[in-house]
Structure formats: structure tokens, C-alpha cells
Structure 1
């Protein structure tokens, strides 16, 4: 009978001990919330209230146990039956006080302006003086993908990583242009539906995904005052509107003697984002069109015409001036006019209207976008979108006392007690004037006649009745093409006996063809430079005045 020999247990060598220690530390993990016990990776956990026991234990005499045992707390070294509940131990532990976090260096500069009364701090960024450091390539690529107006092109290029990398390396948020488009597109000929043309559907959707453009209209009878208001921001940049519009069209009746100075002031107020596309005049009637500088490439050549309604044609105080152009495939007509004055001269004002619609010779060289819906007797039928504004001189057919009583009875912005006596509204309902035109609801008080410099209606001996003489009307070939966003008066400008009237509209656009004479980016360059020069000079003077004022408030005690 053979006897089995059992060799005595040999302790592992240093290399094996080191390997065992490493393997044990890899397999065993510390379970949070269990008093810091060491568990093997194969341990199965039950509910939180059950005791967790490792399936394999490490020999007490091994170096691994000695190393890990040094990290056990006194409570964990006791037998399991004598250990305290980990939850009680957690509750009894004192509150840990963390030391304040100290920045490793100076905090980075903030990249935006803000004002916080709670934090008692403010930060203002002068974007013109920023040091444009390039961000990380990853964040730049994300911003490019988010900001590019033609995101569909990026999506179609998503599988071509080389193309996307080449695109994003330009550090630009402009719409990408393929080499093939540069080779093939001349922008001189368009297809039947305008696809691939400069004024076609692709370009239109790139700049206006909803195919609507913002138009700002302002009309003001300046009463021939030589001195312009110190600030025109209330006229062009009202505080109740957050964003600017794509086109600004300003009509003036009885304008100031220096028309060029008026246009420079408009350019100075609108700033470098806008250029004057065109301007025309008829005596003291001024009409100016400003456009965003990146949109002038999609405008046709601009045409204008004038009409005199006075019997003596040399006196150009009453009449009209019109400007027309095509934007993409949509034709626009803007008319500002000044009708005959007088409370009872309704018939004469209707004659003024009829003469203007028949005699305004537009368009001249521009093609009619829809000749089948045009008539030779009405100029407003030859264009897709028409805005007619000015001093129409229609009055309220009530005496002053009744009008003032109605004004005191108005609730909120409801001006219906006044509008129901308006001569223009009555004539439009009867169909004798402004056929096919519409007007946004009136929610402002009459704009005529004020004492200059205050909000008091006429206190002269004539005691004129307050009236809605200044209006903005519109019509379109397709229903609902023009949507009125805002229609109000500008009460902040008081240098005339009239208050300006402003309106904001969203206008439907349609793609066009390149068979029209393009404006090729033309605008009044000298006016632009002078307006920006004055704007910079004004800002420098303002900063210098603020600096001198701050220095004058510092007093020194010797």
C-alpha cells in the first residue's frame, strides 16, 4: 500500500508575492456605503441591509493582507458580530470641513457683457477691441456646423471627412461653395424655374429659410424744420423691438432744406450694417431705401418716378415719389405722398390719389413679374408687394370737443371710437380710394396737430381737430403675403407738428430668374463712409465726455 506524501506548504517567492498582490488588488474592490469593506469582484450583493461576505478570502499571513489591513479602521478589524452598523457610523461621523478652492492662476476674461445687481458686478465687452484668439478646433467645427445657414450641404458632405475638414479649416461661418458651382455657375442665365440662379430657390432658401423678409416703414411730415432731431434712434430703432429689419424705407413730407444731411443722419443711425440702396426726391418729398449690406447683391436695378398733384407743377409740395426694385423674384413698390390739406377737402384728396396711380410711370425697364394681373390704369397692380405711406391729410369728421372726449374714453389701446369717424377709413370702405389696400389696426392716438416740443394738441386760434393724417397702407398680389408686426407712432420726436408713424412687416418672397438687370451691389458709398465717420466721431466724443466727467468727480484733500 502506497502512502501519499503531502509536501509542506511553501511560501511564494517575492516575484510571486508581488504578482499575487497585484492580482488581488485588481480583483477586489471597495464598495462605497459599506463601511469601506473590501469585496471581491465576484461578490453578489443583496439588499443594503444584508451583510456582505467575500466568497474568497486572502490568507491572513500574506503580505497582501498586511498591506490592506493597515488601511482598515479599528471598527473593521473587530469580529463581524461586534462591528457597528455602517449607517450609525455614517451619522455619528463629524461634519467634514473642506478647505476653500484656490484658483491656480488669474481667472480667464469673460467673453460676454452682463450686469447683475445680486452679484454686485458687471462686465462689458467692446467687441471692436477683442483679441480674436482662435478656439479649439473641435469647438470651432461645432460652431461652424451650427451657424452655417445651409446646413443641408454639410449633412450631404458628412460622409466625406476630407471635405468637411477642408471646409472647417476656412474659419468662416459663410455658406460653403463647391468647386463645381464656381466652375459651372455664371449667374447670368437662370433656368425656367430659377434653380441654380443667383436669384433662384437655392439662394433664397439659404438666406431666408422661411421665405419672408422684414421691412421697416417710417413716414414723417417734418414741417420743413431746418434743425433735425438730436437723436433719430427713436424713429429707426424703437426700444419695443429687439431686432432690426432687412429693409428700412423712410418717407418724408415737407422735408428739411438739406436733403443730403438728412440722409447722412439716417446712415449714421443705422450704422455699418446697412447701406443706402437708393434715394429719390420730388421737391420737399424725400424717399430713402436702406438695405442690409449683404443683401444688395440680390436686388435688381432701382427705378423711381414722381408725380405732381399741384395745378402749378413748379410748386412741388404736394404729390408723390415712388421707388421700385425686384428682390429675388418679388417686385416691390414704395410710394410716399402728400395729399391736399383741409378738413373738408375729401374729394380733392381722392383726385390726388387717382392722378398718382394713373401717372406714376413705373416700371420702366424692369420686367413685370405677373403681367396678366396688371392694368395700365393703376400702377399698384404691376407689382407683387406695394407700400403706400405719407401725409394723406384725411381728418376725423367730428369737432374737437367730441374727439377729445372720445380719446378720454378709450380703454387700453382700443381706438375704435376715434377710427369710426376717420375720413380715410370711410372712403376705403366705399371703394373710392386705395382699392385693394389694407391697414393694420390703429392702436395709437392721432398724430396731428401738436404744439412743437410737447404732447399738447393745437392750442393756436385755429384749434385744429386731432386727426390720423399720417398712415401706412399695403397691398399684395397674393393674399396674406404681407403680415403686419407693428404699427404705431413715434412720440419721442417732437420737432414737428406731426408725429412720425412706423410699421414693421413680414413680406413673402419668391425665387426669381436672372433675366433682370441686376444692381450688382450698387449703393451710395460716399454716404456710407460719411455716416460711419460721424458715428465714430460721436462715440469718441461721448467717451471723452464721460472720462472728463469721471475725473471731475475726484477730489483730493491735501
Structure 2
């Protein structure tokens, strides 16, 4: 008889949003962050971990004395009453990623690193590229990548080059996890900017969208075609979107701006190496994948996904500390987020600023 021990059973919420350089000041994030009873986590519970990636964040710091971007502060103010702690954040010009977690998970997060890769202007400019957060999460190696790839219909080649440049240039210090795809769990989100192949007009695309013919349009989706051919993102999986294209809208409305063909630019993909350790089974069952049409701030719609992140052992009893020794090695020096500083920052800064 096989006995199974659950080392970790987490609900992870991922969100990507191109905010078009807009300020977060007037945005209410309660619904977007599933804080109003609309969670897709098991039992309608709040997520254990939030990872939020943004693109086209304004680089004009509203409050230059603050280290964190106003969007990070806004998210912190929404999550603080639910006792979430900011784990880390990384920004490259307008590309931003931040992670928040429930208190109880902080002791199980080690070797936290961030990385950034510029791909704009041949790697000289950070308006396009990627930022990431990697860590040991309950003993397993997890990485979260947020990218903004080259724009416009005719820049497919550049998007492919951006992807490979990010994969080649992203490097970490953790033993055994030097590169993105060395990790046991990989989550990749962002404005990937993939469009529809072929010559359909914007009006014809909109007609198909209005008639719910998503499956037909997704056969023309550049990301799907690339993954099938193995040109880019082929190591990752994606649940096919069952929501309307998330780009390009007239700001403040749900009407498509037909100067551009509607497309699924905003995506979330993942990869799990399920059975790389003896007696250990890793899984990330996707629970949801949705666009949030109520958030009309920019010409993109935010897209979220939730995953059930599970680490189990069969016929053995492992603690996550023992799993950490197996995966990261005893020679590693674990590092953890500075919880006290994060709390002080949230309490003293975030709430007063956003109550104005």
C-alpha cells in the first residue's frame, strides 16, 4: 500500500497586466485580487501566494523618496489586512514583478533571488525584456518570470529573439538552479505581444470574437503555432484561453480599438518537472485562467490564473528542510525575505498614501 505525505499544498495566484503607464491611485483591486469572495482556490480560500507581473508601469516616480513603485504599494495596501507579506519585487523600467505570501509560508521560502534581462534595442534598453523572482519554495526550486516582448504584428521574429535572449541571459546563484529551466516549477507571464497570423482584418477578428469563435482564432495564434513548431515557449504548457482577446481596447471601455487587430497578448504559461527526485511527486494543477473585463484602465485587460502547487512524497516522510537538502544542496546558504522591514514599510507608507 502506497502512503503519501503532502509536503506542500499551496494555491498560487498569478496576474499579468499591461497598465499603459497609468497610475494605480483610483484603482480598487479587491475584485482583481480575489479578495471579495470570488477566489478560485480550493474552498474559496484566499491564495497562499500572489505573484503579480506588470508591463508599461510608469517610470516617472510619483514619490521618489519611496523605493517601491506605486503599484507595489497599492497591492500591499489591498493585501495587508489579510496579513500578506511582501516577499520581493523587481523592476526593469516599465516591467515589474512582485510577490506576496501569507505569514505562515515565509519560513519555507529560501534562496530568494531576482534577475532582469533587457531586450529592447538589441539588449541596450529595458523597455522590453523580463524580470524574475526565483526561490526555494518548500524545498523545491520555483521561478516566476514576467516579460514584455516586442510589439506589433510584423515583429514575430523579434519576439522569438527576445524569448531566447531572456532564457540565455537569466542566471542565478543557487546551486542546481542557474537558469530558468533548471527549476522544478517555472511560471512565465506577461505581455508576450503575440498576435494572429494571416491577413484577417480587425473587423473580421472582432466579428469572430463577438460570435465566440475563440477556438478558430486560436488556431492562428502565433504563440500556439510557435510552441507546436518548437521555436519558442515549447517547454511550457498553457491552458487555452476561453476568454476574449485582451488587446487592444479603447481605454476606459470594452470596445476594441480597431487600429490594431484584437489578439491574446497577455498570457500565463507554466512547466513542472514532475518526477525528478526519487519518491517525490511535483504537480501544478491549473484551477483557473481568466481575463478581467471590469478593469478598463489601459488598452489591455488583466489576466489571472491560479495553480494548485503540490509537493508529495510516496512511502517516505520528508520535511521540506530535508527536501531542500536534496534539491538545493547542503552547501547553499539560505536567504529569506526581511519580513520586519516589509511590515514597517507597508504600515507606515502604503496606507496613508492611498487614503488621500
With the length of structure 2 as denominator, give the TM-score of the two structures: 0.82
SS for the counterpart of 1:445 is coil
| 2:23 corresponds to | 226
Which structure 2 residues correspond to residues 346-365 of structure 1 after superposition, within 5 A? 346-362=156-172, 364=173
Correspondence for 1:269 among 60, 65, 78: 78
Q: Deviations over 1:262-316 (max 9, x none)?
A: 2111111112421011111112111101111111111112111111112364521
Which structure 2 residues correspond to residues 8-407 of structure 1 after superposition, within 5 A? 209=6, 211-237=8-34, 239-241=37-39, 242-257=44-59, 258=61, 259-272=68-81, 273-311=83-121, 313-362=123-172, 364=173, 366-368=174-176, 379-397=179-197, 398-407=200-209
SS for the counterpart of 1:235 is coil
Correspondence for 2:214 among 404, 410, 415: 415
* 2: CA distance, partners of 1:428 / 1:474: 13
Q: Deviations over 1:486-512 (max 9, x none)?
A: 100111221111111100001222541
Q: Provide closer, same or farther for how the CA distance between residues 484 and 455 of structure 1 changes in structure 2, counting only shifts above 3 A.
A: same
Q: Is the CA contact (8 Å cut-off) linking 1:253 and 1:391 kept in structure 2?
A: yes
* 1: CA distance, partners of 2:100 / 2:352: 22
Q: Is the CA contact (8 Å cut-off) linking 2:85 and 2:343 kept in structure 1?
A: yes
| 1:487 corresponds to | 289
SS for the counterpart of 1:531 is helix
Which structure 2 residues correspond to residues 448-527 of structure 1 after superposition, within 5 A? 448-458=247-257, 463-478=259-274, 481-509=283-311, 511=320, 512-514=323-325, 515=330, 516-520=332-336, 522-523=337-338, 525-527=340-342
* 2: CA distance, partners of 1:475 / 1:276: 24
Larger RCO: Structure 1 or Structure 2 (Cα < 8 Å, ≥ 6 residues apart)?
2
SS for the counterpart of 2:12 is strand
* 2: CA distance, partners of 1:524 / 1:262: 19
Q: Provide closer, same or farther for how the CA distance between residues 388 and 536 of structure 1 changes in structure 2, counting only shifts above 3 A.
A: closer
Correspondence for 2:343 among 528, 539, 542: 528
Which has more radius of gyration? 1
* 2: CA distance, partners of 1:537 / 1:513: 40
* 2: CA distance, partners of 1:235 / 1:534: 22
Task: Give the C-alpha shift of residue 532 in structure 1.
Answer: 4.1
Q: Is the counterpart of residue 426 in structure 1 residue 225 in structure 2?
A: yes
Q: Which structure shows the bigger proportion of residues in strand conformation?
A: 2
Gaps of 5+ in 1: 1-203, 370-375, 543-558
Aligned length: 318
* 2: CA distance, partners of 1:529 / 1:215: 25
Q: Provide closer, same or farther for how the CA distance between residues 432 and 313 of structure 1 changes in structure 2, counting only shifts above 3 A.
A: closer
* 1: CA distance, partners of 2:74 / 2:103: 17
Q: Is the CA contact (8 Å cut-off) linking 1:296 and 1:519 kept in structure 2?
A: no
Q: Which structure shows the bigger proportion of residues in helix conformation?
A: 1
* 2: CA distance, partners of 1:300 / 1:523: 11
* 2: CA distance, partners of 1:530 / 1:306: 24
SS for the counterpart of 1:244 is coil
SS for the counterpart of 1:417 is helix
Task: Give the C-alpha shift of residue 533 in structure 1.
Answer: 5.6
Task: Give the C-alpha shift of residue 220 in structure 1.
Answer: 0.8
Task: Give the C-alpha shift of residue 348 in structure 1.
Answer: 1.2
Q: Is the CA contact (8 Å cut-off) linking 1:215 and 1:246 kept in structure 2?
A: yes
With the length of structure 1 as denominator, give the TM-score of the two structures: 0.53
Gaps of 5+ in 2: 62-67, 276-281, 313-319
